[in-house]
Amino acid sequence: MPGSMDARFEELARKARRVQDAVDGVRARAVVDGVDVEVAADGRITTLTMPDPAVAQSVSRAHGLALGRALKRAAALREELTSDPSVARALRHLVRTTVERSDNAASPPTSASPPDPADIRHRPLPVGSDRTNPAVSQRVPVGSDDDTVNRYALPPRVRRRYGLT
């Protein structure tokens, strides 16, 4: 029954991507006493407007530092899962079957062209970046595989450790 297992992995990957894309687009906004805050689902401040811009910058920087520290602690807790050999085997299987399926698909063009400017959108900088304001955006090609865009991707050292690169 390897085919049915491959199909389940493929469906799970599609579902996870669909859900993650939807979650990445979630924003919520609140206005209290002249302070306007918009946040992403992961807690990042995406917009902050206050009567005093200097205070807004300080709040934004403090929030970015605190969020970065919380994310580091959460990553340390997830280490138990990422260091599990059975998880690595499942990921290798998923990567291998995805690559095999794409290899069996129609041949891609022989040369890659640069991304179309219409396919560029703004995405927030990753938490802990060198910028003082985590709400500042950068331009990133849609569908980019850069780990700075997908904060939920396994870190490169983990992928190397399990032979997933």
pLDDT at 23: 92
What distance in Å separates the CA atoms of residue 76 and residue 24, rounded to the nearest whole number? 22
In this predicted structure, the answer to whether residue 126 has a pLDDT above a threshold of 50 is no
Task: Provide the residue ranges of all domains of the chain, joining segments of one domain with +.
Answer: 2-6+26-105+115-161
Q: What is the mean pLDDT of the chain?
A: 71
- Per-residue confidence at 13, pLDDT binned at 50, 70, 90? confident
More confident site: 11 or 115: 11
pLDDT in tens, 127-151: 444 444 444 333 333 344 444 445 5
Give the per-residue pLDDT at 2.
54
CA 86 to chain centre: 23
